[in-house]
Amino acid sequence: MDYLYEGLLRPLFFRKGFPFHGDVEKAHDASYLALRAFAAMRPLTALFQYFNMTARNVPAQKPIELFGLKFPNRVGLAAGYDKQARIWQAGGALGFGHVEVGTVTRHSQGGNEKPRIFRFPEAEAAVNSMGFPNDGAEEVARRLAAGPKKGARACPLGVNIGKSKLTLMENAVEDYLGSFRLLAPHADYVSINISCPNIPNLRELHERSRLVELLGAIQSENRSLAEKSGEKPLPLLLKISPDLTFPQIDDVLSVLEETQFAGIIATNTTTTRPLDLADAPEKGGLSGAPLMRRSLDVVRYIVRATDGKLPVIGCGGICSGEAADQFLAEGAALIQIYTGMVYRGPFFGRDLARAYAWNQTEWPGKIW
Ligand SMILES: Cc1cc2nc3c(=O)[nH]c(=O)nc-3n(C[C@H](O)[C@H](O)[C@H](O)COP(=O)(O)O)c2cc1C
């Protein structure tokens, strides 16, 4: 399947003259539409799920229990691909161990001006300045409510929330809380995004006093919702920027401890550029292979600073099995991918999860 994608489909999609060539967002929308159609075909997804996750001669999935949730494997789909929560039900069929939808905001919004996604195939990189286009928390909550319920899902569902663009920074806490109230009842975990470089001033929320206020308010809302519903409070995660200094990361870690967050996602995209893309005029957050070194450094730093006690989801530039191995070897409990899937195809997550399981168990001899 991946030979089909990398050998045939990708060269076709990326070729000059192909309908979507030069309009990366249209190509993205087309792939999203195809996956949406796939996700809607229940018998087909059930079959794929069986072969990708549960068939007897598929190698062990290396499940892991974390935050009180069971993850069938360690590889998840990062936030940003399923912004509108329309394909998450197919996560298991694609072989993912979890899916994070969003970023969802309290109010629906169109995002930044187009063009806002750019590809750099030679560097296996992308730059985006999407600015959280999404239908808003109410509509997304309705969509999640229509899908499989908690406990009946092939893999855990994370919901990533961010600040609406129109909401002033001084009202950010109320804006996040509004999204949280609507979406938390449908999520297995919630991640708080303060690290997108494409929303003006958003990353100021990494600053200690603002972060205590924001995360403290979300955690107390989380606890009071749990009290009312009689369920356990949800695991809350924070998604951070790779562009923080180590002292800034120390501050963030102390806030996570104070507010009893369950884990951290490291990292989002970077505003820095590697040398070979230094002159690229495209504005936004860089993802893909050139981000990997920095994200890995951040993961390593967090694992050491917390003695491995705070679960870390490693994300950033995982475009190969070796990259995935390095994140896991540095102590990441789980990993997430996005840009790697663009270059390696829709089953890249499954392949990473399997390769990891193979490394950890005896080679089973055959895949199917
Ligand atoms: C087109 C695009 C859109 C993204 N949108 C979001 C988003 O809405 N929320 C978020 O938390 N991260 C978003 N991200 C960041 C990814 O989740 C991930 O943190 C980052 O791309 C690094 O991983 P990668 O190198 O595997 O892509 C986006 C990334 C890309 C490429």
User: What tens digit of pLDDT does each residue of 24-76 get?
Assistant: 888 888 889 888 988 888 889 998 988 888 765 555 567 899 999 999 999 99
Residue 51's pLDDT is: 84
Peptide linkage before 115 cis (omega within 30 of 0): yes
State the chain's mean pLDDT as an integer: 90
* pLDDT band of 368, cuts 50, 70, 90: very low
Residue 236's pLDDT is: 98
Q: Is a pLDDT exceeding 90 seen at residue 171?
A: yes
Single-letter code of the amino acid located at 266:
A
Give, using CA atoms, the residue closest to atom 19 of ligand 1. Answer: 268
- Asked whether 176 lines ligand 1 (CB < 6 A), one says no
Ligand 1 centroid–CA 329 distance in Å is 22
Residue 253's pLDDT is: 97
**What is the Cα–Cα distance from 18 to 349, expressed in whole angstroms?**
26
Please identify, by atom number, the ligand 1 atom nearest to the C-alpha of residue 195: 11
pTM of the entire structure?
A: 0.93
- Asked whether 333 lines ligand 1 (CB < 6 A), one says no
Residue 363's pLDDT is: 53
Out of 140, 264, 287, give the residue to mutate to test ligand 1, the one with the largest number of ligand atoms within 8 Å of its CB. Answer: 287
Burial 133-153 (b: 16+ CB within 10 A, else e): bbbbbbebbebbeeeeeeeeb
Q: Domains of the chain, with CATH numbers?
A: 2-360 (3.20.20.70)
Ligand 1 centroid–CA 104 distance in Å is 13
Q: Is a pLDDT exceeding 60 seen at residue 226?
A: yes
Residue 367's pLDDT is: 40
**CA-CA distances (angstroms) from residue 244 to 207, 249, 264, 266?**
10, 6, 14, 11
**Residue 14 DSSP SS3:** coil
- Are 238 and 203 within 8 A, CB to CB? no
**What is the Cα–Cα distance from 85 to 173, expressed in whole angstroms?**
23
Ligand 1 centroid–CA 61 distance in Å is 25
User: Which of the 8 DSSP states describes residue 4?
Assistant: I
Q: For the range 212-220, what are the long-range contacts, defined as Cβ-Cβ under 8 Å and sequence gap of 24 or more?
A: 212/255, 212/258, 212/259, 213/173, 214/172, 214/173, 214/176, 215/255, 215/256, 215/259, 215/261, 216/258, 216/259, 217/173, 217/176, 217/177, 218/176, 218/177, 218/180, 218/190, 218/192, 219/259, 219/260, 219/261
- Are 1 and 344 within 8 A, CB to CB? no
* pLDDT band of 185, cuts 50, 70, 90: very high
What's the angle, vertex CA 365, arms to CA 360 and CA 368, rounded to 5?
A: 100
- φ/ψ of 241, rounded to 5, equals -85, 150
Residue 147's pLDDT is: 93
pLDDT digits (tens, 9 = 90+) for 283-325: 999 999 999 999 999 999 999 999 999 999 999 999 999 999 9
Residue 206's pLDDT is: 84
* pLDDT band of 361, cuts 50, 70, 90: low
Give, using CA atoms, the residue closest to atom 29 of ligand 1. Answer: 80
Give, using CA atoms, the residue closest to atom 6 of ligand 1. Answer: 80
Give, using CA atoms, the residue closest to atom 7 of ligand 1. Answer: 80
Tokens of 44: 């087909």
> In this structure, how many other beta carbons lie within 10 angstroms of the beta carbon of residue 211?
22
Span 322-346, average pLDDT: 93
* pLDDT band of 8, cuts 50, 70, 90: low
- Asked whether 128 lines ligand 1 (CB < 6 A), one says yes
Start-to-end C-alpha separation, the chain: 13
Give, using CA atoms, the residue closest to atom 15 of ligand 1. Answer: 268
- Asked whether 83 lines ligand 1 (CB < 6 A), one says yes
Tokens of 211: 């972060």
Residue 278's pLDDT is: 85
Give, using CA atoms, the residue closest to atom 18 of ligand 1. Answer: 268
**What is the Cα–Cα distance from 153 to 180, expressed in whole angstroms?**
21
Give, using CA atoms, the residue closest to atom 1 of ligand 1. Answer: 128
- Asked whether 292 lines ligand 1 (CB < 6 A), one says no
**What is the Cα–Cα distance from 328 to 335, expressed in whole angstroms?**
8
Q: 270 pairs with which residues across the strands?
A: 286
Q: Is 272 exposed, middle or buried (0-12, 13-18, 19+ CB in 10 A)?
A: middle
